[in-house]
Amino acid sequence: MFFSTPSMLCKTVHAHLHDLSVCLMGRFPNEDECALIDELYTNHLSQGYDEIKHEFLLQSIYYSMPVDVFSLASSYSLLDRLPYVRTGSYYQHLGFQSPDPIRDLRGSGVLGLENMLYFIQTYPNIVYAMIKKHSRRDNKSVAHEGYPWAAAGINITRLLALEFELIQVSGMKTKSENYTRKIFWHYLVEPEGFNRMYVCMFLLLDHYWDLMNATYMQFPNVLKRTQEEFHSLLQESTSLSQLETTIFDIVNVKYDIYSLPLADDESIFKLRCDDCGSLEGMRRRSPFTVNFI
């Protein structure tokens, strides 16, 4: 490359050094990313109980859940979907700690339900396989005894909120002047960025749960390892799509997605075998699609 003047050379070198610095040290969030951080915190993570929004999300989760999940609880017969109820043992079967799921949402607000709904609607086969696998662990019939699926999801929402500095460890909102440098801020503004990272982190948690042969009392240890490994993968990836591919390769999508016992009238959840080999092929929406973010 020919530089006509020393000043042009200096400007070019400075620009390359700046790019290198961003790659190595990261940067602060830009205006769009700051706006999304504020939106996620104010209108989703920190929002208190809102009867209309919470009820809508809970009903959407209930009716989006693969119908076969109901057969995993001994109190439900195969393909028996009872009318929606606001509280009840069904929520404990899904891994909530209380028959009233709202009590579990203090640390995640409506964002925890929104993330959960996205996972169920986008990967219903994987959600079903997760709940099925852990509901029968050690011959136990209640999901949260072997694997607290919903509680894990709420914790993942919280960990992502910490990673992307919606909140501080204390739970208080992070002030914009305290944002730190990251090389992956732009993942937030990708389509469904927060939701997609939620799925990635959930799959990683499930992977380490099995790898560590964890018990319920070891759940905090699994969360800690998941948080550390996810952060490392964020640092190593160059795009959100690459992060997704890497994590799906790590977990090897170990669930039996070819032989799930799905009902005939739930054909929307069925997967063609020739689609299952790709990440996009495993994404399926239910009829009840909700997007608040």
Q: What would the two tokens of residue 253 be?
A: 């999508």
Find the range with the poorest average confidence among 25-34, 83-92, 135-144, 275-284.
Answer: 275-284
pLDDT band at residue 243 under the 50/70/90 scheme: very high
Return the SS3 of 167: strand
Q: What angle do CA 32, 35, 39 make, to 5 degrees?
A: 140
Measured CA to CA, the distance from residue 168 to residue 191 in angstroms comes to 25
Domain positions in the chain are: 28-282
Cβ contacts of 148 within 8 Å, gap of 6 or more: 95, 97, 216, 219
Contact at 8 Å (CB) between 84 and 90?
no
Cα–Cα distance measured from residue 206 to residue 202, given in angstroms and rounded to the nearest whole number: 6
- How far apart CA 185 and CA 29 sit, in angstroms, is 6
End-to-end CA distance of the chain: 46
d(CA 271, CA 258): 7
In what helix (H) or strand (E) does residue 52 lie, and over which residues does it extend? helix 51-64
Tokens of 158: 């919280």
Name which of 97-111, 152-166, 172-186, 236-250 the model is least confident about: 97-111
What is the C-alpha separation between 102 and 48, in angstroms, rounded? Answer: 10
- Torsion angle (degrees, nearest 10) of CA 252, 62, 258, 194: -30
> Looking at residues 181-205, what average pLDDT do you find?
96
Average pLDDT for residues 114-143, to the nearest whole number? Answer: 78
B/e letters for 113-133, b = 16+ CB within 10 Å, e = fewer, are bbbbbbbbbbbbbbbbbbbbb
Contact 91, 99 (CB under 8 A): yes
Q: Is the pLDDT of residue 7 over 80?
A: no
* Pair 97, 144: CB distance under 8 Å: yes
Q: What is the pLDDT of residues 44-79, one digit of tens each?
A: 999 888 888 999 999 999 888 887 777 666 555 544
| pLDDT attached to residue 288 | 29
pLDDT surpasses 90 at 252: no
Q: Check if the beta carbon of residue 125 is closer than 8 Å to that of residue 284.
A: yes
Please state, in angstroms and rounded to a whole number, the distance separating the CA atoms of residues 215 and 127. Answer: 20
Tokens 């999304």 — which residue? 36
Which residues lie across from 65 on neighbouring strands?
none
Mean pLDDT, the chain, rounded, equals 77
Work out the burial of residue 10: count CB atoms within 10 Å of its CB; fewer than 13 is exposed, 13-18 middle, 19 or more buried: exposed
What pTM value is reported for the model?
Answer: 0.79
If DSSP codes are grouped into helix, strand and coil, which group holds residue 216?
A: helix
